[in-house]
Amino acid sequence: MPVHLITYDLNHEREREGDYERLYAMLREMHAVKISESVYAADSPLSPEQVHGLLAGIVDEDDAVMVFGVSGPPAGQAPQEVMEWLRLRLG
């Protein structure tokens, strides 16, 4: 299944209660793993455009949300469960 890298920046989040909760709920539905602050990886049969459409529908227009298709084995440092999640899906 394709893996997508999802990054976001919710502007003025202190003024709008619930933005993060709605986003986190959607990421949980996608079985995403947190890589770092505001960066997640999710495996989904959807295209990056479709994943973005789902996320863009729950955040405000002035927020930033980017979705990238990812391939190839990961390299880097992260908690063991994150690295294992990525290795299982990306080789």
Which range marks the domain in which residue 65 is found? 3-90
pTM of the model: 0.87
Amino acid 73: pLDDT: 85
CATH of the domain at 25: 3.30.70.240
Q: Tokens 């947190």 belong to which residue?
A: 34
Q: Please state, in angstroms and rounded to a whole number, the distance separating the CA atoms of residues 64 and 44.
A: 20
Counting the structural domains of the chain, the total is 1
Distance CA 56, CA 25 (A): 14
Rounded CA separation 86/91 (Å): 8
pLDDT confidence of residue 16? 57
Q: What are phi and psi of 42, to 5 degrees?
A: -140, 140
Structure tokens at 2: 């394709």
Predicted confidence (pLDDT) per residue in 19-61, tens digit: 678 889 999 999 999 999 999 999 999 999 999 999 988 888 8
pLDDT of residue 91: 80
- Per-residue pLDDT of 52-72, as tens digits, reads 999 988 888 888 999 999 998
